[in-house]
Structure 1
Amino acid sequence: MVVKFRLFWALSLLSLAACQYSGSVNTPASEQTSLPSGIVLLEDKSDAQGDYQIPYKKYQLDNGLTFILHQDDSDPLVHVDVTYHVGSSREEPGKSGFAHFFEHMMFQGSENVADEQHFELITEAGGNMNGTTNSDRTNYYQTVPANQLEKVLWLEADRMGFLLDAVTQEKFEVQRETVKNERAQRVDNQPYGLRSEKIAEALYPKDHPYSWPVIGYIEDLNRVDVNDLKAFFVRWYGPNSAVLSIGGAINEAQTLKWVNKYFGGIPRGQKVEKLAKMPVKLAEDRYLTIEDDVHLPLLQMTFPTVYVRHEDEAPLDVLSDILGGGKTSLFYKNLVKEGWAVHAGVGHPCRELACQFELIALPNPQRVPSLAQLQTIMRKTLEEFEQRGVSDDDLQRTKANIKSGTVFGLQSVAGKVSTLASNQIFSGDPDKVQYDIERYSSVTKADVMRVFNAYIKDKASVVLSIVPTGQQAMQAKAPDFVKPERTISAKVTEEPVAPAPAEDDFDRSVVPKAGPNPVVNVPDFWQTELNNGISLMAHETKETPTVTLVINLEGGPLLDPIDKAGLASMTAMMMSEATQNYSNEAMANELAKLGSSISFSAGGRFTSVYVNSLEENIDATLALLQEKLFRPAFHEADFVRLKTRLMQSLQQADKNPQTLSSKAVIRVLYGEQNRIAIPDSGTVQTLNNITLEDVKQFYNDYYNAHMASVISVGSLAKPELLKALDFINTWPAKAYEIPEYKPFPEFEEKAIYLVNDADAAQSIVAIIKPFLAYDATGEHFKTNLMNFPLGGMFNSRINLNLREDKGYTYGARSSFVGGKTLGRFQAGGAINKEHTVAALKELFAEIETYQKQGMTQQELEFMRRAYTQGDALKYETPGSKARFLRQMTVYGLDKSYPAQQNNIIANVTLDTLNQLAAKHLQTDSMQVVLVADTESLAEEIKQWAESQGRKVIPLEI
């Protein structure tokens, strides 16, 4: 749901800006005078109580840096977020992509931080990190063990105040190639990848800040030079344009001193004014068409609306949910359930300057030959809404989703800190969660109808048709919009004047030492066996009033007959449809009014049921679970619709090169006679063989207590949980067995298997071999320790070579993955087309060198620190705790296994790990799967294969 996503995952991805902070808290003079010199306390909300408030204190340094502290001692970790009020909206025409480009450059070292050292230090500390850019802001964040806080603040301060001299032409060129690779991977080589870009060009005037893509145009990335990038930094990256947010197990007094020490001396930057709101209007519809390598065409109608926190934003969000927010919506009823569309939805994404209302549908080509017909159905649905109006349930669903989404969104420190940062940047008020709940709760039926009439009814929109290549006749209407030519200045940017140096009384080149490692406790849990033999494992936590429940039924897709692969998935999909006492829509409506979710899925070795609920609604939610689990209706109409939709989706997925690669890898490793060589969801051919009677039989045979286990994490105490789950005690057990595997292929010679992806901008490289099944403390575990420096982290040998040194890829890695019975080694990534063979050579060179020479002592010590210190982050959220308990259940582990792993990490020798490298990284035992434009690369591939003694085998997928 759009509302849930925007409000509760920090309001950060789309920005919040309309309301200014209008309150203040008087702080006693004694508190102010006790602060370090140069720090002012602006607001103290540290005593905020309730499920919908985030306690915090807000301070400011003399240089204008605003920083926010949030105390949360529930886990021994801290999250640090630095958000700058600069996104692609601050760019000049002709220099698109700069904000995102600069995000990359901020990880390439600064005056006192060497190239790649930021990644190295955070990885070594056992933390995780990243940066994101959107149209309105750029943020950089790290989650680390609490003893690493000073180091993170040093790192962030160094790139805020001391980056410019470290920006070299060489780094600029490498990151330019990396950004171009990212665009190729995420936009140009993805089905529908140009959708948002082309709509923005038509919706907004040519000089509007939202008219160009965040990632930028290739011609702009090629045009600019390093001085342009430096000028962008000088203009926008001052402390006064940033918000520093710190949350977790912090010592407040010490944190204040560190912030003052590392950030206080950085000079104030140029003033950053807020941009004026820039919502737009269209005088008439604008039609445009993209021909793309897709199976399913797509139609999108986009209406301009308001801006974030405008008074009409909340009712527009409610309207979008009524029209297209899941199974209770009109779009689902009229398009999906009636079989006109494979997918249909409505959203209202909002940004700081403008919002847009989007109607999207992918038609069922068996019933809809033209997008014009689909547009007619969509417009009639709008007319139906006008006649139908808004019901009480419509409003209740929205309010329940807001409530539950808020609570679930505050389960992690990162979620809370990101919320505080985003709200401060765009509204000047860090905690607006309660405010947002209230403004959505106050939406009336009249409000929703008013905004429908004001922004949607009979209003002009951008209408985009995406059609398969060569099938322009399917478009909704001939294009009538022509992108205006951009006005691009030919002015050459001179090297900017660097800001004044910071005045410090300490040596910034010294990396701060970490404090003592925090004590990490494995989550306490209790375990019992229910009357019917089901294993129940539960962890009680009072951090949020929520319950997460997972039911695992072992077997899943492995139980499918091979000629009916996808049967487990189809059955799981049918379990989410109508029951004997509820229609599909009625069930969805009841769950939505509770703010709860119940979902079924089949993947890997399991069929799983996932339940999320607020504690106050758990009984009502579990009553609906009983209905779903024990009384499915299995209507023929639902089966036909889902089967058709899944088949169309599979055909569309085959247009994705990553999907083709995944299918080819399992085909090569496991052969055509094994169920595991076919995707979990099956193929078009195998789905054609499945009947509704097959689904009913699968349910009768395998949905029972025989191989079932239950995991619970939440605020229910043991007696209450056992009482709530009493209905599962009556679930009968019916014995069944999981079939044995057929013999796997034996590779008598090494080969490169080619899957042709004509005209692909990128190639997907996968170097593979069979490997051991998962174990927690044996050879599989130790082999992953060995792989860490080779390809198991950002600063691995493989990624530094192919991404950072060569610019061939957005990312490359290697891994040893393992399940309960099987495992494999895989290395590779998405490679720029022209560098395909060169990347193959580098990958094999890295693997072969590592196989012969192994890791170094320095790499061993680095791996030890990264693995052991990362324990602080393992068990923070209910989801992570549930995964830990599931791991123990699936693999029969006990609570001591993390301690055993740490003992292995501390004591494993370099010789032991290098023997594993020598044993498992012999490239003659590895096969290559390549998804690429193999026709244009044929000669290069042939020459490389001959030089390696590899057979070239075309593969049809």
Structure 2
Amino acid sequence: MLKTTKTSLAALAVALAAPAVIAVPAQAQEAAAQDVAPLQNLVDEVAIPYEEFQLENGLTVIVHEDRKAPIVGVAVWYNVGSKDEPKGQTGFAHLFEHLMFNGSENAPNDYFQYLQEMGATDYNGTTNFDRTNYFQTVPTGALERALWLESDRMGYLLGAVTQEKLDNQRGVVQNEKRQGDNQPGGLVFYEIVKTLYPEGHPYDHTPIGSMADLDAASLEDVRNWFRDNYGPNNATLVLAGDISPAEARPLVEKYFGPIARGPVNEPAQAKVTELTEDVRVVMQDQVAAANIAKYWSVPGITDRDLTALTVGANILGGLASSRLDNMLVRDEQIAVGVSAGNFAFQRVGILNLGATVRPGVEIETVEKRLDEIIAQYIAEGPTEDEVRRSATANLASTIRGLEQVGGFGGKAVTLAQGEVLAGDPGFFERQLEILATLTPAEVQAAMKKWMTKPSLTLVLQPGERTGEYEEAASVAASDADEAEAAPGANEITVTKERPAPPISELSDLEFPDVTETTLSNGITVYYAQRDAVPVTRVALSFDAGSAADPLEKRGLEGLTLGLMDEGTTTRTSQELAEAKERLGAVISFGGGSDRSTVTLSSLSANLAPSLELMTDIVRNPAFDQDELERVRTQTVTGIQQSLKSPEGLAFFTISPLIYGSNNAYGAPETVETVQAITREDLIDFKQRWLRPDNADIFVVSDMALSEVMPGLEAAFGNWKAPSVPKGTKAFDNIATAPESSRIVLVNRPNSPQSYIIGGQITDVDAKDPAIIDLFNANNALGGNFLARLNMNLRETKGWSYGVRGSVNRQENAVSYFVSAPVQADRTGDAMAELIREVDEFVTTRGVTDEELTRIVNNEILQLPGQYETAGAVLSAIQGNVMYDRPMDYQETLAESYRAQTRESLDAAARAAIDPDRFTWVIVGDAEQVRPQLESLGLPVETVQPE
């Protein structure tokens, strides 16, 4: 099972006088610790009962029954990934993942069309080294349609794979590669794989493949790839949700049974490689601070050492209380962040540790300390408490993920992963049992066994990028719009007629009842019950947000929230981190522009001590000056790093141009505004904004309200507001849209893609119920995969990996944005298409009948899946309060959607969007891009980022 902590593998290279203090004496802390549920008890609560059977053609079927909602998670996993690709065909597994979304013989259109017709949610497909998977969660009444759809692309695909589709998806995949490569540190993963896995090793190339191999892929090549790898006897189907094995079997037999067997892919065997000596590589890129990362090749997921290595890495650098955090970040303050992870694949894994160097500190200093701490850890081993904390945090994350029947980490995926990669759907149970009984000695032995072997040390430092982009052999020649196929080459051949089954009657959304009550001090509590998993979520929401920041001190709200978790008057930041880990609790801070929210996700068995911890953090922050300076440095480094990425630079540039630079929504935080913040500012912000008379509490739990309220009352019921007045926000200086459009070109040399973003402020009232007409109008223009902008630039032209239009709704302003990362040599063409599409949509070519039907049906049918999780319910209730909506609002949506017409959607779009008043920002290589913009007829200003 792939385990990550803090960051993804690719991202590793970048990388007081407080009011109303509540004392928490040592004996109370000890008592709270004693209330923690035993780890084995938590393990015993995790169960995914299933039944497994196999069809005559070899298809493995796994069914898990979960009647919590009228939805079913459908997952199809194929036993083929990039490690199974022969030389000269790298990227084929991933390319075929794309092609299998582009239509089959009886469902020839884009598969997202059929998924939306069913009201599917959580749908996607992914490819990694070891497998290719497809998944969707559908209403129970649409399950038969989903099985027909999945079986058609398994058994009846090749007649629909045409040269036109191959050329198009080749372009999309190559733009996906460009998009990843264009990020700071985007070339690092190639170096890691090349160093750890020598040529000829199955893991010697990344799943995205090479431009050259993608260029060379012929139609017959990809068809043979399908014939060899996608038969039913090389696949596993998992159904999880509102269905029993007895109900599932005849449906699966009906749709998958007639499909003929194919060859069986025997997954490539691969040894765990071992470097003969330590390797040190230094690379440069557009990063704000140097990053040092160490990598070891370790065993894959079925090895006994998997869990020990994962826990060991977490203790060393993954947990908030990790040793590297404590020593390098908190105590010595020579790093601004650390990371660790054990990324286990089927045959091999990559164990890594990293640290981002604090600006001004020598790289050699941090690298030396990193090596010393690793050596000390291996020599001493972890403590029992460290192992238990890591195990509890791991288990709590697993429990939360299993609330979903589908999605990226739900029950269907868990069962499929175990079957395909470990030969056991219940593989997760074995891992959890190991987790519950793991000893410090086992962790130490695993770390000593693998981390004393030679390793790769990769240093990524600021500077001119090291390494070159691999570009397609001929970018223009591969464009789908220019491909000239032989007559008839793009015709679809149907080998067997398979009519689509009807969608049965579907259940309406049953949004949980919301109870409103108050604590003794007047804080309103909104409660809803969801009992799918033993978890309680509590959100303490303040009417503040980043909009409460003074303009000259933008970032104050974020810095205040960040410091609340870095020590209270009774606990240090390390003690807070350790306490959360013992409880398996997650306490997060955020909320966006209009709200500041502290959210607790607690195992219900540990709710009482978790609430005690939450109230200490909220009510008693120490705002220690040393911690402030440390977090300030991290924040400044984060701002600087965000401005190295194309997206970050684009949004930083466009926000003040859309909203105006002198208001709460438009002025971005900068290094200068964050540097100006004092400790007194933090205290003042908390007193004026983060107070009980400016707060609401939202709860979604498997526990009854009567069981939850005593803990809430104890934590927050006696909290008194300070004497200073509450803060006020001003929204009277938001800009209006300019009289004419213009382009601001931000020069970012050596960029294989340009990041385009355009938009305008609108006159829409964020609290007007009719805003849903604008949302659904945008679903035709840019709001989802099938929208015109994406279908044009991605699915027709192949110039982009994805294009979106979005209605950006804040409490006191609504804006509209279009964003499109496009290959650099097509920037001007893409801009012309974006402008044309938006203009035609609001003038001559509004919403069509087909679009209206598809969009409305999708919005209605997906409602049960959309609110499957407690987290989604919690967010919805908070939105109802912010936008003054009734608590049954979600249950009224279906009727509102049914009332929509082409005219109502067109009117909403035309009232909000004026393409002649857009501000466009393009982040790209100005030397290559600017000449392409000359024909657009818009003024262009080129700027150099500081």
Q: How does 1:442-521 map to 2 (within 5 A)?
A: 442-457=437-452, 459-470=453-464, 508-521=497-510
Partner of 1:587: 576
Distance 2:494 2:184 in 1: 52
Q: Quote how far apart the aligned CAs of 1:668 are.
A: 0.5
For 1:315 and 1:912, the matched residues in 2 are separated by 59
Letter in 2 for 1:593: R
Deviations 1:541-578 (A, max 9, x none): 22211111111111122221111111111111100111
Give the aligned partner of residue 600 of structure 1. 589
Note the 1:867-882 alignment, pairs <5 A.
867-882=859-874
User: Per the alignment, in what secondary structure is the counterpart of residue 935 of structure 1?
Assistant: helix
SS of match in other structure, 1:147: helix
1:783-824 Cα distance to aligned partner (Å, 9 max, x none): 112222221221111111110111110111212221211111
User: Alpha carbons of 1:3 and 1:725: their partners in 2 closer, same or farther (altered >3 Å)?
Assistant: same
Contact 2:172 2:799 in 1 (8 A): yes
Larger mean CA deviation between 283-292 and 380-389 belongs to 380-389
What is the Cα deviation at residue 918 of structure 1? 3.5
Aligned position for 1:63: 57
Q: Give, in angstroms, the shift of residue 644 of structure 1.
A: 0.8
> Whole-Å Cα distance in 1 between the matches of residues 709 and 591 of structure 2?
26
2:30 is matched with: none
Secondary structure at the counterpart of residue 862 of structure 2: helix
Q: 2:539 aligns with which of 550, 555, 565?
A: 550
C-alpha deviation, 1:658, in angstroms: 0.4
Whether the 8 Å CA contact 1:342–1:363 is kept in 2: the answer is yes
- 2:257 counterpart (248, 253, 264): 264
Inter-partner Cα distance in structure 2 for 1:738 and 1:665: 26
State the TM-score, normalized to the length of structure 2. 0.89
1:582-610 Cα distance to aligned partner (Å, 9 max, x none)? 12112211211111122223531121101
Cα deviations across residues 268-306 of structure 1 (Å, max 9, x unaligned)? 111222433421111101122322122222211111222
Where 1:745 maps in the other structure, the secondary structure is: coil
Corresponding residue of 2:820: 829
- Asked whether the 8 Å contact 2:587–2:598 carries over to 1, the reply is yes
Question: Partner of 2:828: helix, strand, or coil?
Answer: helix
Per the TM alignment, residue 401 of structure 1 is displaced from its structure 2 partner at its CA by 2.0
* Corresponding position: 1:228 with 2:218: no
Which runs of 5 or more structure 1 residues have no equivalent in the other structure? 10-48, 473-478, 484-501
1:690 matched residue in structure 2? 677
Residues 1:333 and 1:209: Cα distance change in structure 2 (over 3 Å):
same
Query: Does the aligned pair in 2 maintain the 1:775–1:781 contact within 8 Å?
Result: no
Normalization by structure 1: what TM-score? Answer: 0.88
1:885 aligned partner: 877
Is 1:91 aligned with 2:82? no
| Residue of structure 2 in register with 1:857 after alignment | 849
407, 415, 424: which one pairs with 2:419?
Answer: 424
Write the deviation string for residues 331-375 of structure 1: whole angstroms up to 9, x where unpaired.
11221112211111222111111112211111112122xx33322
Letter in structure 1 aligned against 2:800 = T
Partner of 2:717: 729
SS across alignment from 1:563: helix
Q: Which amino acid aligns with 2:756?
A: V
| C-alpha deviation, 1:64, in angstroms | 0.3
How far does residue 899 in structure 1 lie from its aligned partner after superposition?
A: 4.1
Structure-1 residue corresponding to 2:309: 316
Task: Give the C-alpha shift of residue 777 in structure 1.
Answer: 5.8
Q: 1:119 maps to what in 2?
A: 112
Superposition deviation, residue 427 in structure 1: 2.3
User: What is residue 649 of structure 1 aligned with on the other side?
Assistant: 638
2:28 is matched with none
The question of whether the paired residues in 2 share the 8 Å contact of 1:526 and 1:539 is answered with: yes
Instruction: Tell me, in whole angstroms, the C-alpha distance in 2 between the residues paired with 1:777 and 1:647.
Output: 38
Taking the aligned partners of 1:379 and 1:115, their CA distance within structure 2 comes to: 55
User: What runs of 5+ residues in structure 2 fail to find an aligned partner?
Assistant: 9-42, 471-492
SS of 1:510 mapped into structure 2? coil
Aligned equivalent of 1:179, options 161, 173, 178: 173
What residue number does 2:921 align with?
A: 929
Aligned letter for 1:799? N
Paired residue for 1:219?
212
The partner residue of 1:169 within 157, 163, 188 is 163
Partner of 2:296: 303
Q: Equivalents in 1 of 2:350, 2:791: separation in Å?
A: 40
Q: Against the structure 1 CA distance between its residues 621 and 898, is the aligned structure 2 distance closer, same or farther, given a 3 Å change threshold?
A: closer
Provide the identity percentage.
30
Counterpart of 2:601 in structure 1 is 612
- Measured in 2, the distance between the counterparts of 1:703 and 1:912 equals 41
Partner of 1:719: 706
Residue deviations 1:156-198 (CA, integer Å, cap 9, x gap): 1111111112111111111000001101112x10111122221
Report the alpha carbon displacement of residue 772 of structure 1 after superposing the two structures with TM: 4.2
Q: CA deviation at 1:883?
A: 1.0
> Alignment partner for residue 800 of structure 2, among 809, 830, 838?
809
Q: Which amino acid aligns with 2:701?
A: G
**Could you tell me which of 700, 705, 708 is aligned with 2:692?**
705
Q: Would you say 1:373 and 2:365 are equivalent positions?
A: yes
- Deviation at 1:749? 2.9
- 2:4 and 2:342 in contact (8 A); partners too: no
CA distance in 2, matches of 1:447, 1:899: 52
What is the aligned-residue RMSD (CA, Å)? Answer: 2.3
Structure 2 partner of 1:332 = 325
Is residue 794 of structure 2 the alignment partner of residue 794 of structure 1? no
1:78 alignment partner, one of 72, 80, 84 = 72
Cα separation, 1, equivalents of 2:770 and 2:315: 53
Whether the 8 Å contact between 1:774 and 1:818 is mirrored in structure 2 is no
Comparing 930-939 and 559-568, the one that deviates more: 930-939
| Cα distance in 2 for residues equivalent to 1:508 and 1:253 | 27
Partner in structure 2 of residue 355 of structure 1: 349
Matched, 1:130 2:119: no
Deviation larger for 136-145 or 767-776:
767-776
- What is the one-letter code of the residue matched to 1:869? L
Deviation (angstroms), 1:86 = 0.4
Q: Is 2:512 aligned against 1:523?
A: yes
Does the 8 Å CA contact 2:825/2:928 hold for their aligned counterparts? no
Structure 1 pair 219–469 and aligned structure 2 pair: CA distance change class (3 A): farther
Q: Which of 386, 392, 400 is equivalent to 2:384?
A: 392
Contact preservation (8 Å) 2:302, 2:422: no
Aligned equivalents of 1:904 and 1:770: distance in 2?
25
1:760 and 2:751 are equivalent in the alignment = yes
| Residues 146, 249 of structure 1: 8 Å contact kept | yes
Q: What's the CA shift for 1:409?
A: 1.9
**Counterparts of 1:777 and 1:267, CA distance in 2:** 55
Distance 1:274 1:695 in 2: 56
Alignment partner of 1:305: what SS?
strand
CA–CA distance in structure 2, aligned partners of residues 71 and 891 of structure 1: 37
Query: Structure 2: which amino acid aligns with 1:437?
Result: L
Measured after TM superposition, the shift of residue 251 of structure 1 is: 5.3
Q: Which of 427, 436, 440 is the equivalent residue of 2:431?
A: 436
CA 1:920–1:672 in 2, change beyond 3 Å: closer, same or farther? Answer: closer
Q: Is the 8 A contact 1:753 1:952 kept in 2?
A: yes
Which stretch shifts more, 357-366 or 151-160?
A: 357-366
Deviations 1:727-775 (A, max 9, x none): 3111223542422135233413321122222221111112211124564
Seen in structure 2, the aligned counterparts of structure 1 residues 266 and 5 have a Cα distance that, compared at 3 Å, is farther
- The count of corresponding residues between Structure 1 and Structure 2 is 877
Q: Distance in 1 between matches of 2:920 and 2:701?
A: 45
User: Is it true that 1:105 corresponds to 2:95 in the alignment?
Assistant: no
Q: Which residue of 1 aligns with 2:729?
A: 739
- CA distance in structure 2 between the aligned counterparts of 1:567 and 1:471, rounded to whole angstroms: 34
Specify whether residues 744 and 627 from structure 1 end up closer, same or farther in structure 2 by C-alpha distance, changes over 3 A only.
Answer: closer
1:456-502 Cα shifts (integer Å, max 9, x gaps): 13x21111121222499xxxxxx9xxx9xxxxxxxxxxxxxxxxxx9
Spell out the pairing of 1:235-246 with structure 2 (5 A cutoff): 235-246=228-239
SS of residue in 2 equivalent to 1:367: coil
Shift of 1:389: 2.9
Q: Bigger CA drift: 543-552 or 79-88?
A: 543-552
Alignment equivalent of 2:836, drawn from 845, 867, 884: 845
